[in-house]
Amino acid sequence: MAGKHTLDLSDASFDAEVLRSDKPVLVDFWAEWCMPCRMLAPTIDEIADEYNGRVKVGKLDTDSNRQVSVKYGISAIPTIILFKNGQVARKFVGLTKKADFQAAINDALGAGAAAH
């Protein structure tokens, strides 16, 4: 389901890939049965491609990975959380425009790192 630059995250890989990352990480909390999640998937993959090398982008299936989902209080999906330095920097719930993700990512990267 994930694109070429989109990571498949799990409870087991979350700490290493997200919390200990030296780059901002955008995590899409989703489930196979969630239609809005499916609608958002191409946008998440586009962001992963555009920011490849500067930001990690991953997807975490909430049905298969309950630990992380409960830890971050995921009660509605899609929920997308931008992590920076292991902390929640921004949280989006529901279908969100690509420009909103880009603005949050650019902010996390600092003013000089706007998308090309």
4 flagged as catalytic: no
User: 80 with 6: CB under 8 angstroms?
Assistant: no
Ramachandran angles phi, psi of 73, nearest 5°? 60, 40
Residue recorded with tokens 């997200």: 18
Of the residues 27, 34, 82, 104, which is catalytic? Answer: 34
* Sequence-separated (6 or more) residues with CB below 8 Å from residue 8: 1, 2, 58, 59
Identity (one letter) of the amino acid at 30? W
98 flagged as catalytic: no
- Element at 47 (helix H, strand E): helix 35-50
Of the residues 7, 9, 37, 68, which is catalytic? Answer: 37
Give the residue numbers marked as catalytic: 34, 37
